Amino acid sequence: MLDFDTAQARLAARGRAPAAHETVALDALCGRVLAKDIVAVLDLPPADNSAMDGYALRAADAVVPGTTLPVQQRCFAGQAPEPLLPGQAIRLFTGSVIPAGADTVVMQEDCREDDGRVTILAPSVPGRHIRRQGEDMQRGQAVLARGTRLGAGQLAVLAAQGYDRAPVFPRLKVGILTTGDELIPPGQPLPPAAIHNSNAPMLASLCSGLGTAVPMLRHARDDADATRRALAELNEACDLVLSVGGASVGEKDLVKPALESLGGTLDLWKVRMKPGKPVALAELNGRPVVCLPGNPVSAFAVFMLLVSPLIRGLQGRRDVLPPVRRGILDTLRPVGGERDDFLRVQAAQGAGLPRLTPHSQQSSGALSSLAWAHGLARIPAGARLESGAEVDWMALSDWLS
């Protein structure tokens, strides 16, 4: 078995960015990954402007509180102000351009206006409440980096710079192959000894949450030819294939022989982690194939910890490994086994590090624990941890986005 960290690093390293890119309109960019740096073409703010509703003036004209000045002009955002005359003030609103000659803004709460004159009630200070031209973004500055996944904040930057489209990598195409005679699609009656196929919708949802194209789903019964045909079809159509189940060494574990018969080569097989030992990374026609355990809990853990970094790399993202957090384990654990144990936990934030409470059922058959958990806490192989021990944990919100 390969140790967990080596396996994770190997899958992450296999995630090479696409060579191609496409230009997409602003309203369709959310969730896409930038293929090139974005450079500011404008200073933002484009000119010095007011951070407050108030009055622009020369600070030297109102050094003493109680000074009264005539109001020269009222200037709203989007209007060009007149140059400020000495000994006068211009009424401004948030976002209004600072008039030439003014060096401060006194907010309206510190002023009183009557009959076209304003009384300054607080000392005026040069430079106060003025947003300077280019203090947010400067023309020629790289404002978004290649490999950034675009969300609302990034779209706001693009729009503010006047971009109505941007170059992005193509959406990653993922194929999902489930196997097994015992699996029946949801909505269909269950024969004796059968179960519903929960892996397909679970993995499709996980892929979509990472921003892939809608996954291509196939199911193969426990038949060598059917498994080989389905695998070949997905490999031809997709950038990445995830197979679920059938990758161990039983009589009906047909995925590994199917891969080999199609000319695929194995890079790793079996990882020292629990849940999720039977994992394989293969290469078929230059595209990666990851074989996941058939147990849904194991498949979920392997996808989160090993496959999601691979997907982020294949998408062209800069940051493929999300942060590992620290927390306080709220339970006594026995000596760990020979594999790193990843416990399903809920996190409660208090003073200091969050408290991590493991689910009462940590077996790989406790499917309901996935809907309950906030993340996975890592218990190193061979470790004996008392309640209150500090451990690493991976939040679902970090690793599945």
3-class SS of residue 125: coil
Task: Show the tokens assigned to 101.
Answer: 């000659």
The CATH code of domain 325-395 reads 2.40.340.10
Give me the CATH topology for the region 22-44+135-168: Molybdopterin biosynthesis moea protein, domain 2 (3.90.105)
Break the chain into its structural domains and give their ranges. Answer: 2-19+171-315, 22-44+135-168, 49-131, 325-395
Task: Show the tokens assigned to 280.
Answer: 């394989």
Residues 381, 340: contact at Cβ < 8 Å?
A: yes
pLDDT: is 158 or 277 the higher one?
Answer: 158
- Report pLDDT digits (tens) over 85-142: 999 999 999 999 999 999 999 999 999 999 999 999 999 999 999 999 999 999 999 9
Residues 272, 381: contact at Cβ < 8 Å?
A: yes
pLDDT: is 250 or 188 the higher one?
Answer: 188
30, pLDDT greater than 70? yes
Q: What is the pTM of this model?
A: 0.91
Length of the chain: 401
Rounded to whole angstroms, the Cα distance separating 244 from 278 reads 10
- Report pLDDT digits (tens) over 166-225: 999 999 999 999 998 899 999 999 999 999 999 999 999 999 999 999 999 999 998 999
Do 49-131 and 325-395 agree at the fold level? no
Question: What pLDDT is attached to residue 250?
Answer: 55
Cβ-in-10-Å burial (0-12, 13-18, 19+) of 203 comes to buried
Confidence of residue 335 (pLDDT cuts 50, 70, 90): low
Mean of the per-residue pLDDT values of the chain: 94
Question: What pLDDT is attached to residue 46?
Answer: 97
Nearest residue to 68 (alpha-carbon basis) of 120, 124, 126: 120
Confidence of residue 254 (pLDDT cuts 50, 70, 90): confident
Looking up tokens 């994992």 gives 279
Question: What pLDDT is attached to residue 94?
Answer: 97
401, pLDDT greater than 60? yes
Rounded to whole angstroms, the Cα distance separating 398 from 210 reads 11
Give me the CATH topology for the region 2-19+171-315: Molybdenum Cofactor Biosythetic Enzyme; Chain A (3.40.980)
Question: What pLDDT is attached to residue 246?
Answer: 65
Rounded to whole angstroms, the Cα distance separating 210 from 320 reads 11
3-class SS of residue 8: helix
Give me the CATH topology for the region 49-131: Molybdopterin biosynthesis moeA protein; domain 3 (2.170.190)
- Amino acid identity of residue 42, one-letter, is L
In this prediction, residues 275-300 reach a mean pLDDT of 94
Question: What pLDDT is attached to residue 247?
Answer: 61
User: Does a cis peptide bond (omega within 30 degrees of 0) precede residue 275?
Assistant: yes
Cβ-in-10-Å burial (0-12, 13-18, 19+) of 387 comes to exposed
DSSP 26: G
